[in-house]
Amino acid sequence: DTGVSQNPRHKITKRGQNVTFRCDPISEHNRLYWYRQTLGQGPEFLTYFQNEAQLEKSRLLSDRFSAERPKGSFSTLEIQRTEQGDSAMYLCASSPITASSYNEQFFGPGTRLTVL
């Protein structure tokens, strides 16, 4: 297993278009997270899944954003009617669930979105 993968790595789109990103977590990792990182800032939590259930969404995740994780494997993040403010790096991370109170999150390389 080579870790968390994200596709595409870069996406340039025009304002108003829809975009979809994909994240493939490490096999058998139950949890999958999405974060957004704007230029010069640290990543901010967007949402997370435990298996196929979406358990929490940040208020950063407006109605134009939707995330899915069918069958508890890969996940997609869709942004509808993109705005210039959506330009950012979108990071995906996955972690196992164990008896430990914290399980390390492993990050993918991210998808950089540029909205023109």
Partner 1 sequence: AQSVTQPDIHITVSEGASLELRCNYSYGATPYLFWYVQSPGQGLQLLLKYFSGDTLVQGIKGFEAEFKRSQSSFNLRKPSVHWSDAAEYFCAVVSIKAAGNKLTFGGGTRVLVKP
Count of residues in the chain: 116
Our finding on whether 19 is near partner 1 (CB under 8 A) is no
Our finding on whether 44 is near partner 1 (CB under 8 A) is yes
For residue 17, the minimal CB distance to partner 1 (Å) is 25
For residue 15, the minimal CB distance to partner 1 (Å) is 26
Our finding on whether 102 is near partner 1 (CB under 8 A) is yes
Q: Give dist(CA 11, CA 54) in Å, integer.
A: 25
CA angle 62, 64, 66 (to 5 degrees): 90
Q: Which of residues 53-72 bind partner 1 (CB under 8 A)?
A: 55-56
Tell me which amino acid residue 7 is: N
